[in-house]
Chains A and B, each alone.
Chain A
């Protein structure tokens, strides 16, 4: 072993052979997209989806548990509402910075912040959905001999589904948007190429447009997908 393996290329990547795209810096240069889809855009997109799914998934579990607690012990609903609202109100950048001393410059920090933003939306919608079940429906369920558990699983939960799914839609879209800011902290998600483009001396437009556009596309498709799921899962809401 004579030493560490040295890289072959120039010290500054792409030095000396800037692509035509970089040189001309037009609004949208397809060659660059072709060349860098595999090493830049696609990984960023996948990371972005991962960041979002993990945040909304964990957020949903926590919000659901909090909602059940609030419904069981009514006096806890106002404080839980205020707490989740408080988390929601903190500006995302500030929350990222605040968490760094606790969890470092890590994905964990970003996820904690993202989860805390979903809580408010999900918690509110789950509570409202479960509370909106008409009292006569609950009474007939009880009178017909459904147990507490059966009433919850077969009646309350399905009837709360429209509100819960609405909350999920808002939470997913909001998280997709906030997750771009995560790139201030870590090199993950579609925010990374956006910041990279902004960081170039004369603002590399193609990368900015491509990454930003992907984030918008991702939000739109998530919204459409969830809207379709909502339609399919709540057929009784479509009648009449």
Chain B
């Protein structure tokens, strides 16, 4: 596997559990381009987690193929395959008897990296996930839930894998910390550009985190695979529209910023001033709250860029 980021292809991937009626994952075909985040989302029973675990062969495929950088997963040695894929789960699964540093060093140690290398990599990763170096010698029991999940992420990144599998990584964390972790994860991803498969049951998280979203319905069938914007604006059927929610128009507004709109020249005075990176949803909220028909968009230095009208926001 190449080191930077790998392309992941599901090709008619199917999982049928013995003794259970119907498939858990049914002829799933989709391609995750290298360096992108693909979110698997859907109701329970949609086979999201099963699909994820097919990739690192925690669950064996019944039929079909999964390829990483063009090579079928079955052609890799299973242990080697798992060591070269970052794996993050909801309950984190840190080893309670190992320090943070030892936890992060798990896979490098298996790969025979020297102690000094592991120490340096652990310090680097702690910084990357926003933890103080003093955490290195702590045990998991001494950390908060959010801190544990950061360590879990650092541990998954330790061998610098080209592909990351994340199974509801922020699912057990309270909403405020969760939002912060999502933001930090996105900032991190801008730097490291891994290919990521991310499972969640929360459509808002999917919209926020995903470059592409795969919506799975009961029986593990793919309902739609598209960018968040496409899914919000053009759901393919009733099921997707329902799943995305009645407020999908508002959610779509949250994905665009004022800077992406065509602005008219600034003529009026005393308009509310909003930075260009404000989302349309927030801008609309300001316009409604202050009973204004127009807003002044300003650049990072505060200089006026132009005016946007309320009806432009909703177009």
Q: Are A140 and B89 in contact (CB under 8 A)?
A: yes
Q: Are A137 and B96 in contact (CB under 8 A)?
A: yes
Q: Is A145 an interface residue, CB under 8 A from the partner?
A: yes
Q: Is A72 an interface residue, CB under 8 A from the partner?
A: no
Q: Is A158 an interface residue, CB under 8 A from the partner?
A: yes
Q: Are A143 and B79 in contact (CB under 8 A)?
A: no
- Chain A contributes a number of interface residues (CB within 8 A of B) equal to 23
Q: Are B89 and A136 in contact (CB under 8 A)?
A: yes
Q: Is B178 an interface residue, CB under 8 A from the partner?
A: no
Q: Are B89 and A236 in contact (CB under 8 A)?
A: no
Residues on A with C-beta less than 8 A from B141 are 236, 239-240
Residues on A with C-beta less than 8 A from B89 are 136, 139-140, 143
With A144-B82, A150-B110 as known contacts, state yes or no: A136 contacts B96, CB within 8 Å: no
Q: Are B96 and A159 in contact (CB under 8 A)?
A: yes
Name A144's contact: one of B83, B91, B138, B140 (CB within 8 Å): B83
Q: Is A50 an interface residue, CB under 8 A from the partner?
A: no
With A236-B139, A239-B142 as known contacts, state yes or no: A144 contacts B97, CB within 8 Å: no
Q: Is A142 an interface residue, CB under 8 A from the partner?
A: yes
Residues on B with C-beta less than 8 A from A161 are 97
- Chain B contributes a number of interface residues (CB within 8 A of A) equal to 31
Question: In the complex, A136 Cα to B91 Cα: how many Å?
Answer: 6
Q: Are B107 and A144 in contact (CB under 8 A)?
A: yes
Q: Is B247 an interface residue, CB under 8 A from the partner?
A: no
> Whose C-beta in chain A lies nearest to the C-beta of B87?
A143
Minimum Cβ distance to chain A for residue B135 (Å): 13
Q: Are A137 and B79 in contact (CB under 8 A)?
A: no
**0/1 per residue, B106-135, Cβ < 8 Å to A?**
110010000000000000000000000000
Q: Is B92 an interface residue, CB under 8 A from the partner?
A: yes
Residues on B with C-beta less than 8 A from A144 are 82-83, 87, 106-107, 110, 155-156
Name B97's contact: one of A141, A158, A240 (CB within 8 Å): A158
Interface residues of B (CB under 8 A from A): 56, 58, 79-84, 87, 89-98, 106-107, 110, 138-142, 152, 155-156, 165
Q: Assuming A137-B93, A144-B106, A236-B139, what are 5 further A-B pairs, CB within 8 angstroms?
A: A134-B96, A136-B93, A139-B58, A144-B83, A239-B138
- 28 pairs, CB–CB < 8 Å, chain A vs chain B: A134-B93, A136-B89, A136-B92, A137-B93, A140-B87, A140-B92, A140-B94, A141-B93, A143-B56, A143-B82, A143-B87, A143-B89, A144-B82, A144-B83, A144-B87, A144-B155, A144-B156, A145-B81, A145-B107, A145-B110, A146-B106, A146-B110, A155-B97, A236-B96, A239-B139, A239-B141, A239-B142, A240-B141
